[in-house]
Structure 1
Amino acid sequence: MPIRILVVDDASFIRDMVKKHLRDRIADVEVIDAVDGNRALAAMKQQTMDLILSDWEMPNMSGEELLRVVRSDERTAKTPFIMISSRGDRDHVVKAIQSGVSDYLSKPFTPDELLRKVFKQLKLIGKSPTASAPRSAGTQGIAFASVDVLTGGREAVVTATPASAASAPPSAEKQNPVARQVKGKAQLRFANNLTCACVVRDISLQSFSGLIQRTDRLPALFDQAVVDIELGDQKELARLNGYVHTLQAGDNRVDTQVIKITVRFVDNDMDKFEVLSKYIAQR
């Protein structure tokens, strides 16, 4: 029988990415996805899951609420449950563990981190999966390449736009709020413990662009990103999930020390939209 893994996240970008990594690296795996806790429960009524990977901060039913229901049902009480969250503070993790999560995965994460957690939990329930060789990136090429590969080892930085964005109908563009010129500070978090301080220049409910300092390590296009935006004097943060949409040299020099970066948000959480709307309005 195939190994069934349920992936729950309100962001389609995250769900699709997790599904791809699981299907690429685990032989005979069936991945079911759900946009929130309610749909996850509906999926579990139809078939038994061997493992649940769930976002913690979701609309309608949070990951914590989903976990409580899962643990209260004798049929699913012992099902491994891996929490995925953009919050990595100790109190948050401790609370999740006390709630009954089997393991914790912090956004953004690498494919290896994801698979290590998944393999560990499946092994604990006696369902050690058969690993398959990673599939070739094929024509995805630049989408998953590093900046060095994109520039052929040269120091210039290029801009790339996903094909899906380029082919979007004009009507979709009109629906987006107009980005406003603002000044603010944010911290960008990427996988492999890469963090960048960022000056926010343009922001909307769909995306933001800003300036980061050029270093030896830079994110790649389509990398996961968690954007921690400082909301005011209280140093309160708005944590938003997204992916790297464009990278561009800050000025027309090969030795530029400034990189322009655009991150597109992938959250569908109304609470986060409300926080972001207030931030934009104050600017």
Structure 2
Amino acid sequence: MVKLRLLVVDDAKFIRDLVQKTLRAEYPEIELMEASDGRKAQAILERNSFDMILCDWEMPEMSGIELLEWVRAQENMQEQPFILVTSLDQKEHVVEALKAGVNDYVTKPFSAEQLISKVMKQLIKSGKITREEAMNMGRKERISSAGGAELLTGGGNPLVSAAKKPTPARRTPKGKAILLVGEQRMTVLIRDINKQEAQLLGKLSEGKPSLAEEVTLGLVFGREEKAIKTTVKAYISSLQLAERNQQTDKLNLTLQFLPQDAETSAKFAKILALMG
């Protein structure tokens, strides 16, 4: 059985406990260690190896971004999977983290699904585990309810052939929206959406967005004069081809929403409630 070892770094004990509780609830096989700031994490990393680091940004002694820069400067940790778990969600923070070499970014407050999805995706992407091993780990009902192979791979081919095992059913899109990327308008399918982020399916032929680019998501719920309409500011936190085919036109996008004014927030919350 594959054995994974993760380091959780945060100066807030309740956040460290929450991250560890969330991961252990789904994957009790994972071994977890913790550190209360970047300096303590640095000392642990000098003596131990880990399959992933989950780290806060704002901490005393040594911040998360400083720890990330130190990790990337170490010859044996240049490919170390590193996820920032932070409340700093402005575009400039994301750009700074990307330049420093972060692998992914989880915004507080986060859901269990958001955290688990990003952790497993990076473990697979970095080669720490295979997709088959990921599917055999933890609680199968959680993986199934969250989209099965689609959750772990970000779309693409199923993990096993239909002859061996039925392909999990895809989640029904929650609706359509318009994504404004500069002067371009992309019609996108909403695969999932909440107050923090949205997972969308678009077409490259309609626009070529960039990572960390600011965009506007136009939402409409209802018909004619009773329709609720709003536009929500966001930035692109993840881009990925939806199929393992260089010629594909389909694109998976993840948006992180930026702070909105009161009127927009109220309309957005109402649309989310109606979408269910």
TM-score, length of structure 1 as denominator length? 0.47
Q: Which has the higher contact order (CA 8 A, sep 6+)?
A: 1
